[in-house]
């Protein structure tokens, strides 16, 4: 089980004995699932408020697409996309926990100054060497995710001898580095779809309870992802049922944060599962 079952943020306290929902807001023109729909500050804020009303405890704001093959954007562009959204959400909903989805230390610092309380780094804090200094200064919550390669190259024939062992080793090493900064609000994410084959993604879900050995709450993101669409021969507009089924399995196999685009469905899932676990 986890080192502690509750994390206290400035906005609220989260009890990880039960699952929570992280709603996704992509302030990008090119994300794989909703690119362009929430590219303006107003549309992004309105969408975030809707997700909060539907049951999200966290809102994850991203200003750079991380879909396979995507190109990075500049620090300035990422700041211009995300910071106005964070400020406006915090003005309207002070008790919501905002996560900034970034690998850049300058973006993370600006977001934390603006009211974000979690840094969700898909590189597991490996891309930007200054990121550890930033999180040490601000003491936020952190999401350490595993990814093989980078978004542009991660799906170019990824291969593992033992996918679970390799992911656990990476996460454990990064946990130790972050613990040395004094941070304690750590969340781990095995990185479904980030440098993984279809079989790897299913293996991660199957062996999810093993990640509890690392001592921190597990976040999982399967929402609308390619491995579901490919397995069931579905397009992006028809994968919500498959998403919520896989999210249910993940929760029953020890995931405690579900990062999702469809908070309405996931909220129903959580209410039902809470009567079982």
Catalytic residues: 225, 259
How far is the CA of 128 from the CAs of 72, 102, 188, in angstroms?
Answer: 13, 10, 18
| Residue 27 CA to its chain's centroid (Å) | 15
Pairing relationship of beta strands 141-145 and 186-189 according to DSSP bridges: parallel
Please spell the DSSP secondary structure of the chain, one letter per residue.
Answer: --S-SEEE-SS-EEETTS-EEEEEEE-SS--TTTTTTT-SHHHHHHHHHHHHHHT-SEEEEESS--STTPPP--HHHHHHHHHHHHHHHHHH-TTPEEEEE-S-HHHHHHHHHTT--EEEETTSS-S-TTHHHHHHHH--EEEEE--SS-TTTTTSS---SSHHHHHHHHHHHHHHHHHTTT---EEEE--TTSS--HHHHHHHHHTGGGGGGGSS-BEE--TT-HHHHHHHT--GGG-HHHHHHHHHHHHHTT--EEEES-HHHHHHHHHHHTTT-
Phi and psi at residue 123, to the nearest 5°: -85, 0
Tokens 């507009």 correspond to what residue? 237
């Amino acid at each position: 089980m986890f080192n502690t079952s509750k994390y206290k943020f400035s906005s609220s306290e989260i009890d990880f004995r039960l699952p929570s929902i992280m709603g996704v807001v992509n302030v990008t023109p090119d994300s794989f699932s909703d690119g362009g729909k929430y590219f303006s500050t107003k549309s992004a804020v309105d969408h975030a408020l809707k997700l909060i009303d539907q049951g999200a405890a966290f809102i994850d704001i991203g200003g750079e697409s991380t879909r396979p093959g995507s190109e990075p954007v500049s620090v300035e562009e990422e700041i211009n996309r995300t910071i106005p959204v964070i400020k406006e959400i915090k003005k309207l909903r002070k008790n919501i926990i905002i996560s900034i989805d970034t690998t850049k230390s300058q973006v993370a610092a600006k977001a934390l100054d603006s009211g974000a309380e979690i840094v969700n780094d898909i590189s597991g804090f490996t891309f930007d060497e200054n990121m550890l200094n930033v999180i040490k200064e601000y003491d936020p919550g952190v999401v350490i995710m595993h990814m093989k390669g980078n978004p542009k190259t991660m799906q170019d024939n990824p291969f593992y001898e033992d996918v679970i062992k390799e992911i656990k080793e990476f996460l454990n090493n990064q946990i130790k580095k972050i613990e040395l900064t004094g941070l304690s609000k750590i969340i781990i994410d095995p990185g479904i779809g980030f440098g993984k084959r279809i079989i790897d993604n299913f293996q991660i879900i199957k062996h999810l309870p093993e990640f509890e050995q690392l001592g921190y709450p597990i976040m999982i993101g399967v929402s609308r992802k390619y491995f579901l669409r490919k397995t069931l021969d579905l397009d992006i507009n028809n994968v919500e049922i498959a998403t919520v089924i896989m999210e249910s399995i993940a929760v029953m196999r020890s995931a405690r944060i579900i990062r999702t685009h469809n908070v309405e469905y996931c909220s129903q899932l959580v209410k039902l599962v809470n009567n079982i676990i």
